[in-house]
Amino acid sequence: MVEINLLLILFRIFAALFMASLAVVACWFLEGRQRPHSFSAGVVGWTFLITLWGLGGYAFATRYTLGLGAVTNLTDVFPWGLWKAMVLCGIAFAAGGFLTACMAYVFRIRIFYPILRPIVLAAYLCYTLSASGALIVDLGRYYKIWMPIVSWQHRSVLFEVSWCVMLYTCVLTVEFAPIVLQRLGWHRLEGFFHAVTVPFVIFGVVLSTIHQSSLGSLFLIVPQKLLPLWYSPFIPVFFFVSALVSGFAMAIFVSALSFWIFRRPLDPKVLTTLAKGMTPFLMLYLFLRIADLTARNAWADVFAYPLQGFTFTLEMLLLTLPLFVLLKTRWSGLRRWAFAAAIPVISGVILNRLNVAWIGLLPATGSHYFPSWIEIVITLNLLSFGLVIFGLAARYLPLFERPSWDKLPATQAHGSAANSTDLQEAAGRV
């Protein structure tokens, strides 16, 4: 027994050192294969990432050697916590991928061509890390995650969600493949993937529509546990509409930050057009929520449960305040206000998923769950993996460049001269 415990300790130390070393390599590549020369933001970033991944290595090793019970504050009474909420958030924000791809590939709205690749990559990372990665960490028998492929439970909503997530991840792979193939110079294969992209995008829109709402359907089985502030027979509709809202908001957020950080020019109309597209869906979502709460007389719970009442009020405020910006004509045409409106929307959707999967379930179960430090460290590690991969892709892949095949650049170039005056006027307003 002593020998086993010693081996486990050594394994966790080795995992921490390995992850810290991996962080050093990642930072080196992010810096262009060089070290920061003096004390600067780069040094602070290196130090933070190395420390975080070192702790993450220890946390991952502990989780997979000792199990969930030893590293989390989850119990049999309250088995869903931070990681389940992270799955819900990741899938909701990945909606930006199918929205942008649909507008660019299906409806041929050329203004969205420049942001298509960064948004698709962000959606890809949301599925592979925030969704699937968090799920693998959260599952007790993670090694059986493949079972829905062979064990078909036709009446299970979770079975449908599993298949849709797997298939849509394949769709995102097809959409992302041309970026890698262009970098490798395999232009014929790149052209093939582009030729089949449109039907895959349409298939992806169908899949996303299904499983975004089905995630809400999972909570239809807990009417006595989830507070009426969030439980509703229409919760699948709320999940779908809020996913559309968060998809627009995430597209604005990722586009603005990535083009600014990597010093790429971006038409201000891209952000303002996305903001205008988000506005009706946000209004629809708030109308449906308020009408549903009023019809079920659920407003009293705001005052009956202090913590839940506070988080509910904050959630609704975060989703309502952006409308004052988006509906004001003088502000709606400015990209900085579009970006400012996207931040509270993203925060509100995150809080909504936390309320549904965690905070709203606490009163009925009588639990006082709060994530352990290992849960928090693993969550931060998964998020940092996504940021690092995005940064590496931006540096070493043609993430902001036009495809090497013919039609998309030609179409975009055709409209660039006509839009040059509009670009200058928009830049002047900003």
Q: What is the CATH number of the domain that holds 201?
A: 1.20.1630.10
The 8-class DSSP code of residue 139 comes to -
Q: How many CB atoms lie within 10 A of CB 295?
A: 10
Q: Is the pLDDT of residue 406 over 50?
A: no
Q: What's the rounded Cα separation, in Å, for the pair 217 and 222? A: 10
Quote the CA–CA distance of 131 and 157 in Å, as a whole number.
17
Residue 44 lies in a domain: no
Structure tokens at 49: 């990432």
Q: Mean pLDDT check: name the lowest of 122-136, 254-268, 342-356, 412-426.
A: 412-426
Backbone torsions φ then ψ of 338, nearest 5 degrees = -65, -40
C-alpha 138/C-alpha 329 separation (Å) is: 45
- Any domain includes 134: yes
168 located within any domain: yes
Mean pLDDT of 277-306: 95
Q: Which domain holds residue 116?
A: 67-429
Report the C-alpha gap between 19 and 60 in whole angstroms.
Answer: 10
pLDDT 10s digits, 53-66: 999 999 999 999 99
Q: Residue 158: which pLDDT band, with cuts at 50, 70 and 90?
A: confident
- pTM value is 0.89
Amino acid at the residue 149: I
Extended strands (E) in 20-78: none
pLDDT band per the 50, 70, 90 thresholds, residue 277 = very high
The answer to whether position 47 is within a domain reads: no
pLDDT of res. 424: 34
Taking all residues of the chain, what is their mean pLDDT, rounded to a whole number? 88
Q: How far apart are CA 161 and CA 157, in angstroms?
A: 6
Total domain count for the chain? 1
Q: How far is CA 172 from CA 188, 246, 252, 329, in A?
A: 20, 18, 19, 36
Structure confidence by residue, pLDDT tens digits, 68-117: 998 999 988 898 899 999 999 999 999 999 999 999 989 988 899 999 99
Tokens 């709060």 sit on residue: 370
Do 245 and 125 contact (CB within 8 A), yes or no? no
Residues 144 and 122: beta-carbon distance below 8 Å: no
Token pair, residue 429, equals 């307003």
Domain-embedded: residue 58: no
Is residue 214 one of the residues assigned to a domain? yes
The C-alpha angle with vertex 101 and arms to 104 and 416, in degrees rounded to 5, equals: 30
d(CA 36, CA 124): 30
Q: Which two tokens stand for residue 261?
A: 């950080």
Do 162 and 184 touch, CB atoms closer than 8 A?
no
Residue 27 domain-assigned (yes or no):
no
**Alpha helices for 31-106 (secondary structure H):** 41-66, 68-71, 82-93, 95-101
Does residue 415 surpass a pLDDT of 70? no
Q: Which amino acid is at 291?
A: A
Question: What are the angstrom distances between the C-alpha of 235 and each of 20, 47, 390?
Answer: 42, 43, 32
> How many of the other CB atoms lie within 10 Å of CB of 213?
19
- The total of other beta-carbon atoms located within 10 Å of residue 58's CB is 21
Are 354 and 59 within 8 A, CB to CB? no
Q: Of the ranges 235-239, 274-278, 417-421, which one carries the lowest mean pLDDT score?
A: 417-421
Asked, for residue 56, whether it belongs to a domain, the answer is no
User: What's the DSSP call for residue 230?
Assistant: T
Task: Express each pLDDT in 379-393 by its tens digit.
Answer: 999 999 999 999 999
- Which position has the token pair 């830049």? 427
- Please state, in angstroms and rounded to a whole number, the distance separating the CA atoms of residues 256 and 269: 11
